[in-house]
Chains A and B, each alone.
Chain A
Amino acid sequence: MLKGDPMKTISVSAVALLAAGAVSAQGLPQADSDWFVAGETTIQEILDRQPNTNTARNVILMVADGNGVGTNYATRLFMGQQEGGLGEDYVLPFETTDWAAALVKTYNINAQTPDSAPTAGAMNTGVKQRFNLINLGEEAIHDDCSTVEGNELTLLSEMMTEAGRSVGIVSTARVTHATPAAVYAKTANRNWEDSVPEDCTAQADIATQLIDAMEAGIIDLAMGGGARHFLPEGTDGGRRTDGVNLVERATGLGAQWATNTEEFEGLTLDGETPILALFEDSHMQYEYDRTDEPSISEMTAAAIEYLSQNEEGYFLEVEAGRVDHASHAGNLFRTLTDGAAFMEAVATADEMTDDSDTLIIVTADHEHALAFNGYCGRGSDITGLCYGIAQEGIEHTDEPNLGSDGLPYTVAGFLNGAGSVLVEQLPEEGETEAPTETETGEASPEESAPIYSGSRSELTQEEATDPDYLQQALIPMSSETHSGEDVAVYAKGPFAHLFDGTIEQNVIFHVMNHAAFKSAE
C-alpha cells in the first residue's frame, strides 16, 4: 500500500507532473524559442546514447597542463571570440553530447595544491602519488633516492607494450618534463632530468630512462622539446655532465632524429623505426611565437599516423605543456593561444580515429590561481576589460565596469604572480637596506621582509588585450601558482561512459585499463 509512505506519494506525483509537462510542451509559450528547441535536441541526443563496450584498441590521453575548469572556460570564450562570435556559447571540440564528462579531484597524497609530476603519475599508474615525484609508491619520499628501490610502480605504457601495442608521447614542453615523463619514468625528483645525485644508483636520470624505454621497445615515438638533457655539456646547449650523448645512443639503436620542421616532415611514419624528435633545447615555443617547429596538432597527427601502423593498437599521451607556463607568467593571452592550439590537436585526434576502437580522453592535471570578475556583458573580450551588461540587445555596453577605485578591471585575473599590483618598495640610492616592517616583532631581526605596496593603474582595452599583457594579480610572487580546484575530464570511444560524476584523478587510469584490457577478459 502506498498509504503512509509520503516519499512514494511525492515521487509518484513528481513523475505524473513530468509526464504531463512532456505531453503539453508544445503548448508552452517558450516552445518556439531557439533555446527551448536546442534544449530538447540535447536531451534527445543524450537519450540516444549507446554505451560503447568495445575493447579500446587505441587509447589517446590528451592533457593540457594547468587547464582546469576555469582556464578551459577562458579558452572557450577566447576561441569563440577569435572566430568573431561573442564567445560564451562557443562549443569546444569535446563539448558535444557524444563526449562523456566528469569532474576530477587533483590533489596529491601530501599536497592540497598539486604539481604536474604526481598528477600525471596518477593517470599513468592508477594511484595517487606524492608531490614532486613520479611513479613511485606512497612510501617513497621526494628527493630521496634511497626510497626508489621497491617503490617503482608499473606503468600503463609497460602494460601496453606487454600486450604488443605501441606507445608514443607528444609534448610542447621538454619530453623529460613531468607530464610526458610520467609515461616512461620512475623518479624520486621530477627535476632529475639529466643527472641524479652522485650516490644515487637506484634510478637513472629521466632522459636516460627515456632512451632505456626506447631500447626496451616501450616508447616508440617521443616528440617535444628538451634536447639539452640528451646532449653532453659543450655541444649544442647540452647539459649532461656525464658526457653521454643520448641522441647518438638513440640513433645508434636505429631511431630517427628530427630537430626542425623540415626534418619533422621528412620522418618515416612506418610504425617500426623509433622516432626521437626534439625541436628545442628546452621547452618548445609558445604557439603565438612559434617558428620552424611543428604545432601540437601536427605532431599529434604524425604520432597517430605512425602508431596506427600497429594492428594491435597503441597508447599515445599528448601534452599541451605551455598552457601552464603562460599562466605561471601571468600572461593569459599565451595561456589561451596555447589552449586553442591544444583544442586543434583534440579535433585532429578525433578526426583521425574511429570511436568504435579508440578511447580519447581530454583532461588537465591541475588548475591555476585564475579567477573571473563580474558583472560583464556578453562578448566582453576574455583577455580584456569587463564591460557593462546591456539593458537592451545582447552585446555588452561600451562602458567598462569600474571598481570602487574608479578604475576599470579585466574579466580575468590571477590571485598571485608577477602581475601583482603590489610592487616591491626598493631603497633609494644611498640606503643600504630595504625599508622594513620592524614593529611587528614577527620577522627575524636580521632578515626582515621587504615592503610591497601599490595600487591599480589606469587600464585601457588596448593595453589589456596586448599579447604581452599580464592580468592584474593580488599576492606578489615571481611565478603564479597552481590551484587545487577541480579539472574536468571528457572522453569518447570505448567505455568513455565510465566517466561520470566527480572522481579521483587516478580513476582515469582505471578507465583506460578497463577499456584497453579488462573488457576483453
Chain B
Amino acid sequence: MLRRTFLTAAAALPLAGRAVAQTEDAPIKLRELYEGRQLSALGEDLLGERITVEGYMAPPLKADSQFFVLTKMPMAVCPFCETSAEWPDDIVAIYTKRTVDVIPFNVGIDTTGILEWGEYRDPDTGFVSMLRLTDATYG
C-alpha cells in the first residue's frame, strides 16, 4: 500500500493548524521553544508537560529505532555548504513510544510528547541533545 493518500492529508493538517497557532491546544512551532541556542521562556514553562510541536522528521540516523530528530525546516543536505551532515542548533530529539515509521524529511508532522531539557547522549547513535520530547507519538 502506498502511503500517498495519508501523506497528502498529513501534509495539509499541520498547515491548517498554523493559521490558529494562538489558540491553546494548537501545536507549538519548534522555534518557539528556543531563544537563540537557549530554552525560551515558553519552553521553560512547558518543561515536564505533554505538548505538541510542529516540525519535520530528519532522515533517521538508525533504522528501526525509537529515536529521530525533529527540525523546524526540512533538513536539506547541501553538498556545497557542508562536507558532512550538520545539525542546526534548534532541534528537538524525539524518543517515541513505538519503533519509528519513517516519514519523508519534507512532510510536516505534529509530534506529541513530554518536554525535557538537559544534555543527553543517545546510547545507540551517540547523538547529543539538549531538548527532547519523550514517550512521543507523531503523525
Is B121 part of the contact surface with A, judged by Cβ < 8 Å?
Answer: no
A residues 292-306 in Cβ contact with B at 8 Å = 292
A190 to chain B, nearest CB (A): 8
Give 1 or 0 for each of A322-334: 1 = CB within 8 Å of chain B CB.
0011001111000
Q: Which residue of A lies closest to B106 (CB)?
A: A418
Give 1 or 0 for each of B7-50: 1 = CB within 8 Å of chain A CB.
11001100110110000000001010000110000000000000
C-alpha gap A451/B2 in the complex (Å): 10
Is B76 part of the contact surface with A, judged by Cβ < 8 Å?
Answer: yes
Q: Report the contact-size class of chain B (Cβ under 8 Å from the partner).
A: 35 or more
A95 to chain B, nearest CB (A): 28
Flag if B106 contacts A419 (CB, 8 Å).
yes
B residues 93-116 in Cβ contact with A at 8 Å = 101-107
- Quick one: given A435-B2, A451-B2, are A116 and B80 in contact (CB under 8 Å)? yes
B74 to chain A, nearest CB (A): 4
Q: Which residue of A lies closest to B98 (CB)?
A: A429
Flag if A325 contacts B81 (CB, 8 Å).
yes
Q: Point out the residue from B12, B74, B103, B104 that lies within 8 Å of A458, measured CB to CB.
A: B12
B60 to chain A, nearest CB (A): 12
A464 to chain B, nearest CB (A): 10
- Quick one: given A328-B78, A455-B8, A457-B11, are A462 and B19 in contact (CB under 8 Å)? yes
A413 to chain B, nearest CB (A): 14
Q: Which residue of A lies closest to B56 (CB)?
A: A418
Number of A-B contacts (CB under 8 A): 102
B84 to chain A, nearest CB (A): 9
A343 to chain B, nearest CB (A): 22
Q: Point out the residue from A116, A329, A435 that lies within 8 Å of B76, measured CB to CB.
A: A329
Is B130 part of the contact surface with A, judged by Cβ < 8 Å?
Answer: no
Is A44 part of the contact surface with B, judged by Cβ < 8 Å?
Answer: no
Flag if B31 contacts A468 (CB, 8 Å).
yes
- Majority secondary structure, A binding face: loop
C-alpha gap A268/B80 in the complex (Å): 34
Give 1 or 0 for each of B35-71: 1 = CB within 8 Å of chain A CB.
0110000000000000000000000000000000000
Give 1 or 0 for each of B71-91: 1 = CB within 8 Å of chain A CB.
011111111111100100000
Flag if B11 contacts A479 (CB, 8 Å).
no
**B-chain residues with CB within 8 Å of residue A193 when the two chains form the complex:** 83
C-alpha gap A271/B73 in the complex (Å): 42
Flag if A426 contacts B102 (CB, 8 Å).
yes
C-alpha gap A427/B73 in the complex (Å): 23
Flag if B73 contacts A462 (CB, 8 Å).
no
A residues 457-482 in Cβ contact with B at 8 Å = 457-460, 462-463, 466, 468, 470, 476, 478-480, 482
Is A67 part of the contact surface with B, judged by Cβ < 8 Å?
Answer: no
Flag if B11 contacts A423 (CB, 8 Å).
yes
- Quick one: given A426-B3, A451-B2, are A480 and B76 in contact (CB under 8 Å)? yes
Q: Which residue of B lies closest to A328 (CB)?
A: B78
- Quick one: given A420-B106, A479-B76, are A324 and B31 in contact (CB under 8 Å)? no
Flag if B74 contacts A418 (CB, 8 Å).
yes
A500 to chain B, nearest CB (A): 31
- Quick one: given A282-B82, A330-B76, are A425 and B2 in contact (CB under 8 Å)? yes
A residues 404-443 in Cβ contact with B at 8 Å = 417-420, 423-429, 431, 435
Flag if B72 contacts A468 (CB, 8 Å).
yes
Is A154 part of the contact surface with B, judged by Cβ < 8 Å?
Answer: no
C-alpha gap A478/B73 in the complex (Å): 12
A211 to chain B, nearest CB (A): 20
C-alpha gap A325/B29 in the complex (Å): 22
Is A453 part of the contact surface with B, judged by Cβ < 8 Å?
Answer: yes
Flag if B83 contacts A479 (CB, 8 Å).
no
A323 to chain B, nearest CB (A): 12
B73 to chain A, nearest CB (A): 5
B138 to chain A, nearest CB (A): 14
C-alpha gap A451/B4 in the complex (Å): 10
Is A454 part of the contact surface with B, judged by Cβ < 8 Å?
Answer: yes
Flag if A428 contacts B18 (CB, 8 Å).
no
C-alpha gap A325/B86 in the complex (Å): 13
* Residues of chain B having any CB pair with chain A under 8 Å: 1-4, 7-8, 11-12, 15-16, 18-19, 29, 31, 36-37, 72-83, 86, 101-107
A-B contact pairs, 22 of them (CB 8 A): A283-B81, A291-B36, A291-B37, A325-B78, A328-B76, A418-B105, A426-B3, A426-B103, A428-B3, A454-B8, A455-B8, A457-B8, A458-B16, A462-B19, A463-B19, A468-B29, A468-B31, A470-B106, A479-B77, A479-B81, A480-B76, A482-B80
Sample of 13 further A-B pairs with CB below 8 A, known A324-B80, A468-B73, A479-B78: A115-B80, A282-B82, A325-B78, A423-B7, A423-B104, A425-B4, A425-B7, A427-B3, A428-B3, A435-B2, A454-B11, A460-B19, A470-B106
Closest 4 CB pairs of A and B: A479-B78, A418-B74, A328-B78, A291-B36
* Residues of chain A having any CB pair with chain B under 8 Å: 115-116, 178, 191, 193, 282-283, 289, 291-292, 324-325, 328-331, 417-420, 423-429, 431, 435, 451, 453-455, 457-460, 462-463, 466, 468, 470, 476, 478-480, 482
